[in-house]
Structure 1
Amino acid sequence: MATRSGAPLLLLWLLRWLMEHGQDIEPAVVLLSDGPLRPEFEALAPTVAWSQPLFQPLRERLATRLGRGTPTSPAGLLEAAIRRHKPDLIYLNTLVLGKHLKGLSTDPTLPACLSHVHELETTLATMSTPEAVARQLALSSEVVACAERVKQSLQAHHGLPLSRCTVIPEFVPFSAQDLVPTTEPVPPLKGNAADPLMRRLEVAVENGTFVFGFAGQAIARKGFDLFPQLVRECERVFAGTPFLAVWLGAAAAQEQVIVARRDLCLMQLEHRALLLPPMPTGISVIRRYAVHGLLSREDPYPVVALEAAVTAVPTVCFRSSGGIADFVADGCGVAVDYLDLRAFATALHRLSADPESRRRLGERSRAKVFRESSIDVVAPQLLASMERAMAAGARRG
């Protein structure tokens, strides 16, 4: 995909790192769903994206079937790119591609494949099928999981031997030298003075209001439907103490956002919540949070929590939400019982009243993210996995 979400951004950052660090690669990118990241991929490598209209003229359909036209499916786009570029390695950046790999599974000349898995079982169940997952895993000479929970899930639900899977954490595109001292004041958001939504955020920060926030797609898996209910719980728990709850990534025209705005209105809590649209980069907003929150029902290892950690903003999440619960368990945040919004609100209130605890949790999370999830730490591990995949593919051939 070419959306501004975790897995596509990670692939973009990895490509940049590999090319900036003199790796001898000639990448080509196939996007099976078009989106706003496509120009950034195009700036790095030859890129094709699936954005064909639903219906094509008969002449074009016939030409495609004869091998002379534009592919009429994402699978055809991928197969055509492989024929054209003849790669040494196919880097499959998600485990939901199995439905597009039927034609490749019978190709005896197929190059080595690596599957980088960013999904837990709920996502696989909604976006793929057991048969398609099995097909992709069978084609992959190397499997990388973004968290230990993902690895265990692959073994439990799909029978993948633990020995076939390597855990490499998600990462941020920052190095140790990019570290900004947290004692420095947060600079104003440039170019947003006329934006009433951003101005409202700035005023809250300037006035010392306790600002906590979320960032991500406004969907149920991310827990967006829980956001108004959490704001109501916070109104009760904070007992009059001012706060502002922010969600970055809530497109105004999206149905879920319209419903959430109505809920907040009916509960008379609009003054406590701020819904911001998606932005090219979210870290400039996230660093304004006193606390970052994750309401995700399932999230393998959300990059947004790592971005928060870069700016020493601690995270509150559910214990059973995914790999990030393991991250915060190491004194880098707070985890509460699954879907317990009262406990979530209580954790936020305690942190609002204890800036020293916030600072300590934030500093620990920042140290951990640069120790374990800096691109300079993770990219060499991914490169080694790519080399192992190619070596295994060569032995198979």
Structure 2
Amino acid sequence: METKANEILFVSHNASRSGAPLILLGIIREFKNLYKGKLKVLLMEGGELQEDFQSLADTYILYKQPRFILQSKKGFAAKFLKLLYNIKARIILARLKKCRLVFLNTITNGHIHRKLISPGRKFMTYVHELESSTKFGTDAIALTTVLKHSNYFWTGSEVVRDFLVEGKQVPPGITEVVYSSLADINPNRHYFSEFIDSLKKQFQIPTDAFIVGVVANAEWRKGFDFLFPLVKIYLEKYPDGKAIFLWKGYNTGSKSYYFDTFDLKKTGIDKRIILLPHDASNLATIAALDAHLLLSREDPFPLVVLEAASLEIPTICFRDAGGSPEFVSGDAGICVDYGNLIQVAEAIYELENNAAKRIEMGAKAKSRLSQGYSSKDAALRLLTLVEKM
């Protein structure tokens, strides 16, 4: 059945090099090859990926700066910017009026969703959030708009679907679990050999070290405050342990860097922890790991778990902290009790000293990716949905 050539609008809350925008970018890239109609993109904020979006479709950027910077303005400057962006929004929305289907990526776009509502236009929302991200990423009016005016919902995991159905009373019949997806599920780990060698040389990582890594923003939701206590527990419990702990996604230009490195030196664990800034080398950094560590308190279904799996690296994560256990499932990594850092240390030491088990889990994670975790799989499911809507 040939799809109608209606224009479709994809809305992203920003164009940062992070999970939700990367997932959307991969889906659009594949969907463009399947769909005969015109595609457009609206970015609420710009970012590192905006040129990638622009290469795929007509792309409009509402806020050139992050909104928190604009919201910090006071007095006349605040009034002027509000007027300016209201005018800009009207111009952009006028150019999007032919789009009959709107794909909203994340639950946090209710403020623009409200302005896009028009007769005959349908909306689907891809939800990547749970409780805390929803609480702090949107407001009651915007959230109500999304919940009331979305015709269909994709959810990034079963736990996100439960959050919508049980927590927000969304009818289960208009929800569908579509897991996070990767554009490339078969990267070549050897491609990153030079980067890995350089990383080990730069930080003088011993050749027999066991590298455990987190790739995430250094924030409360991602569990950054668990890292230092975890390392202390690991070293006290396993004096012979050879683990080096790496956190990729730390703002080394912040005041916190001084405070955190101060604590690292005082507690004597500075030789075991490496803090790296967020940049385009995330996948290369993951390739350097022996085990991927997820310390998140709440993570709907982080893309980094799939990126690690694509490189045959198992994940250690908490139960009851999001959707990752749905992928790890006991044989593609290790799930431990929520917040139990002793169990995390034990899991690290187990994988460190049981190479056969680690390799087997990594291989299982890799093979699982072919079961619906590619951008092409998601694009095909979107095409089916578009035909029905």
Same fold (TM over 0.5): yes
Cα-to-partner distance string for 1:249-276 (whole Å, 9 max, x where unaligned): 1120234444332221221111001111
State which of 174, 187, 190 in structure 1 corresponds to 2:193.
187
State which of 43, 60, 80 in structure 1 corresponds to 2:55.
43
Cα-to-partner distance string for 1:5-47 (whole Å, 9 max, x where unaligned): 100111111111122x242132222211222111222222222
Say if 2:93 is the partner of 1:82: yes
Aligned residue type for 1:11? L
TM-score (norm 2): 0.87
Q: 1:72 to 1:312 in 2, by over 3 A?
A: same
Q: 1:147 to 1:256 in 2, by over 3 A?
A: farther
Shift of 1:231: 1.4
- Percent identity over the alignment? 27
CA contact (8 A) 1:130 1:158 kept: no
Say if 2:367 is the partner of 1:367: yes
Would you say how many aligned residue pairs link Structure 1 and Structure 2?
369
TM-score (norm 1): 0.85
Q: Which residue of 2 aligns with 1:156?
A: 166
Q: Which residue of 1 aligns with 2:305?
A: 305
Cα-to-partner distance string for 1:341-385 (whole Å, 9 max, x where unaligned): 111011101110000010011000110012231223222113323
Aligned residue type for 1:48? Y
Q: Which residue of 1 aligns with 2:352?
A: 352
Q: 1:258 to 1:113 in 2, by over 3 A?
A: farther
Q: 1:311 to 1:3 in 2, by over 3 A?
A: same
Shift of 1:225: 1.6
Say if 2:113 is the partner of 1:101: yes
SS across alignment from 1:312: coil
Q: 1:277 to 1:198 in 2, by over 3 A?
A: farther
Aligned residue type for 1:15? I
Q: Which residue of 2 aligns with 1:341?
A: 341
Q: Which residue of 2 aligns with 1:395?
A: none
SS across alignment from 2:99: coil
Q: 1:78 to 1:172 in 2, by over 3 A?
A: farther
Q: Which residue of 1 aligns with 2:25?
A: 12
User: 268-277 or 80-89: which moved more?
Assistant: 80-89
Q: 1:262 to 1:57 in 2, by over 3 A?
A: closer
Q: For 1:276-355, list aligned pairs within 5 A.
A: 276-355=276-355
Cα-to-partner distance string for 1:49-107 (whole Å, 9 max, x where unaligned): 21268479989x89996xxxxx515xx655543321321211110101113333344x4
d(CA) in 1 for partners of 2:120 and 2:333?
Answer: 45
d(CA) in 2 for partners of 1:246 and 1:224?
Answer: 11
Aligned residue type for 2:282? G
d(CA) in 1 for partners of 2:260 and 2:332?
Answer: 30
User: 270-279 or 368-377: which moved more?
Assistant: 368-377
Q: For 1:23-172, list aligned pairs within 5 A.
A: 23-49=35-61, 50-51=63-64, 54=70, 71-73=84-86, 77=88, 79-85=90-96, 86-105=98-117, 107=118, 109=119, 111-172=121-182
Q: Which residue of 2 aligns with 1:262?
A: 262
d(CA) in 2 for partners of 1:64 and 1:377?
Answer: 40
Q: Which residue of 1 aligns with 2:202?
A: 200
Structure 1 runs (4+) greater than 4 angstroms displaced: 52-59, 61-65, 76-79
CA contact (8 A) 1:79 1:103 kept: no
Q: Which residue of 1 aligns with 2:9?
A: none
Gaps of 5+ in 1: 66-70, 392-397
Higher strand share: 2
CA RMSD of aligned residues (A): 2.8
Gaps of 5+ in 2: 1-13
Shift of 1:215: 0.1
d(CA) in 2 for partners of 1:258 and 1:111?
Answer: 51
